[in-house]
Amino acid sequence: MSLTCDIVHGYDDFRLTAQFQLGRGITAVFGPSGAGKTTLLNAISGTLQPDQGTISFQQSTLFDAASKTHLPLHKRRIGRVFQKAMLFPHLSVRQNLTYGGGSPEAVARITGVLGISHLLDRRPATLSGGEQQRVAIGRAVLAGSELLLMDEPLSSLDMARKAEILPYFRKIHLETQVPILYVSHDLEEIKQLADDLIILEAGQVLHHGPIFDSFQNAELVRLLGHSGAGSFVTARLMCHHPDGLSELQLSQTTILLPQVDAPLGTSIRLQINLSDVILSLEAPQMLSALNAMPVEVTNIHLGTGPGAIVTLRSGADVVLARITKRSLAAMGLVVGTKCYAVVKSMAIAPGRS
Ligand SMILES: Nc1ncnc2c1ncn2[C@@H]1O[C@H](COP(=O)(O)OP(=O)(O)OP(=O)(O)O)[C@@H](O)[C@H]1O
């Protein structure tokens, strides 16, 4: 385990209670404003001493309230990237990158991964926001960090810049194998990037688990929102039809999608949103939606409102559908009912094919 955190910290009317063990990949921390995300990162990085508990990283104790251990920031080997790049304006990109350390070989390797090798002699003011943020990531890595804390690093950028930078977090992780704790309240960003998800609400860790299990967990729909939740299925690209549709094989059925631009045989991860699924007791005919998967109901989650989240299984694939309680009753759906999930649309989950 890379980081073990078991802390309690209180302000006047707020209390953070966080107990988790971080995986070795990219873990997203998602939560509404005021949930305690920054407080958590401050405790891990060392700018805040929690009231109680312990934080350890690999073999070292970073914080232990009982023995009054509080390792100072510069001894923690933890890098942090903030919303704003916060580069030194009077230093060149190269000087900014090596401010905390980094051999010439490491600079060449990391700037190559981040696509900023050609910017080394420039001043930060001459860089775009996205380039500045890539330099900030490089600086954190080159300082020898063994854990990277990312505090909403894309939130001050526009959509185009976000899309430009997002893949670099994965590249940096693959290159350095450094675990990343990534705070964001953008679910699309999290879906594309993270391996694991921590959901923080009102100072409590409400969930910690693998990303795809999290998004297809009916119990979590309240926290992730209806537009965010949904399921992921993995499909293999089988053939392209002359009318522009591509045929993909799921574990028990085939589906058709508009032209999928990938070599035949490629494994592709598809995302199906809750509200894009309609249920039918009989095999639908004469329907404009192309894909009807035979499924079995495995769970029904009743919310407090008029809706219900139905979890369905088709072989190894899980699909979630949001229907009304009225439809649930009218169709007589119970765990074990066999029916058809008509999927109105599916999106290819970017970066996760
Ligand atoms: N120094 C402080 N003194 C008193 N209260 C604080 C202090 N820092 C944070 N808080 C309170 O603790 C709670 C959690 O704040 P925190 O900044 O950790 O939340 P967050 O999840 O990072 O929010 P956001 O997404 O808006 O950045 C909030 O209610 C905040 O007002």
Q: Which atom of ligand 1 is nearest to the CA of 185?
A: 25
Q: Whose CA is nearest to atom 29 of ligand 1?
A: 34
Q: Cα of 61 to ligand 1 centre, how many Å?
A: 25
How many Cα neighbours within 13 Å face the side chain of 289? 17
| Ligand 1 within 6 A of CB of 36 | yes
* Residue 1: per-residue pLDDT: 60
Instruction: Per residue of the chain (353 residues), give pLDDT as tens.
Output: 689 999 999 999 999 999 999 999 999 999 989 999 999 999 999 999 999 999 999 989 999 999 999 999 989 999 999 999 999 999 999 999 999 888 999 999 999 999 999 999 999 999 998 999 999 999 999 998 999 999 999 988 888 888 888 888 988 999 999 999 999 988 888 888 899 999 999 999 999 999 878 887 888 888 887 766 778 888 999 999 999 899 999 999 999 999 888 899 998 888 888 888 999 999 988 777 779 999 999 999 887 789 899 999 999 898 999 999 999 999 999 999 999 999 987 777 654 44
Q: Cα of 33 to ligand 1 centre, how many Å?
A: 8
* Residue 353: per-residue pLDDT: 41
Q: Cα of 15 to ligand 1 centre, how many Å?
A: 10
User: What is the side-by-side strand order in the sheet with 254-258?
Assistant: 254-258, 245-249, 230-240, 267-273, 347-348
Q: What is the DSSP string of 4-21?
A: EEEEEEEETTEEEEEEEE
Q: Which atom of ligand 1 is nearest to the CA of 35?
A: 21
| Ligand 1 within 6 A of CB of 9 | no
* Residue 324: per-residue pLDDT: 93
* Residue 352: per-residue pLDDT: 44
| Ligand 1 within 6 A of CB of 170 | no
Q: Which atom of ligand 1 is nearest to the CA of 203?
A: 14
DSSP letter at 246? E
Contacts of 351 by beta carbon, 8 Å cutoff, 6+ apart: 166, 167, 170, 192, 193
Of residues 162, 166, 171, the one with CA closest to residue 141: 171
* Residue 93: per-residue pLDDT: 97
Q: Report how far residue 43's alpha carbon sits from residue 151's, in angstroms, rounded to the nearest whole number.
A: 13
Q: Cα of 348 to ligand 1 centre, how many Å?
A: 36
What is the H or E stretch that residue 137 is in? helix 129-142
| Ligand 1 within 6 A of CB of 11 | yes
